[in-house]
Amino acid sequence: MSIKEPKIIRNKQEMRNWSRSMRSQGKTIGFVPTMGYLHQGHLSLITESQKHTQLTVVSIYVNPGQFAVNEDLSTYPSDLLGDIEKLKSLPNGVDVVFNPQNLYHYGEFGVMRRNFKDEKIVSCLEGEVGFGHETWVRVENLEKGMCGMSRPVFFRGVASVVAKLFNIVEPDVAVFGKKDYQQWKIIQRMVRDLDFDVKVIGSELMRDEDGLAMSSRNVHLSPQQRKQALSISRSLFEAKSAAKKGETICSELRRSVIECIEFAGGKIDYVEIVDQESLEAVEEIKNGVVVCIAAWFGKVRLIDNMEIDAS
């Protein structure tokens, strides 16, 4: 089997020109936006994209717009060469890797701000004065709860950079993982509300053999923390099993999830049971809901979720 070398594009206009050239030839384009440090979960998104389109673009860009000033951008894991090798290992490869150096304007300084006290790179987009980036996309209701509570600029940054990427790549289809459930729903709503001509597909969450949801952040877990973190998926499967056996009161299911994670040593950020479409909290399972979790194990914040449909 021959290895397919992806075309590496770093310039926005070159990326746009490539897409328009392919579309003029009648080709359809699928798009998978990532922040790199790829794992099997990301690769499954690419495989899903290739079911729907003839060509596939993968972006690798760590988006500073979704990091608040107190969050350390420099610790986000990165391995571009390793990522490209993983993409080449796919049966059909990918056609383009879009790896821009920067998608924002930083005013007169032209660079991200450095925290000189501890030499960490932090996002300087929040509160920047002068001629820096100041145009943002907000999906106002869907972004309020869950991750939006503890990371108030996160979804503003996600929606804005995805809108920018859609304008640059101009795909027909974009695939997002359901692991980031709130993010997936926010992008769907943004596309609907702003009339982007892009079909947004949600791809099923991928788990390691031990049940832990695949995440680039898992690399930061110690062996002991990883064992403890298995309580997240265990609590979700137990909640789904309880619902199938007739437990429909969400407060009871939520309580059992919290107890399971805290008993294992995790610190809860949130556990919410919400409607799959509106993401509004519900008291009883009558239609489809999703149990969403964010929990800390040491300094690592993990998210996970599971859809539960009414019997």
105 flagged as catalytic? no
From residue 297, give the alpha-carbon distance in Å to each of 70, 226, 238, 266, 306: 19, 8, 20, 5, 20
User: If residue 296 lies in a helix (H) or strand (E), which one and from where to where?
Assistant: strand 289-297
Catalytic residue among 39, 42, 105, 133: 42
289-297 and 267-275 as β-strands: parallel, antiparallel, unpaired?
antiparallel
Total Cβ atoms within 10 A of residue 55: 21
CA atoms within 13 A on the CB side of 280: 6
Question: Which is it for the CA torsion 156, 288, 211, 259, positive or negative?
Answer: positive
CB-CB contact of 136 with 66 (8 Å): no
Task: Determine how many CB atoms are found less than 10 A away from the CB of residue 246.
Answer: 7
Polymer length in residues for the chain: 311
Integer Cα distance of 184 and 4 in angstroms: 29
What are the φ/ψ torsions at residue 299 (nearest 5 degrees)?
Answer: -100, 10
Q: Report, as residue numbers or ranges, the catalytic residues.
A: 42
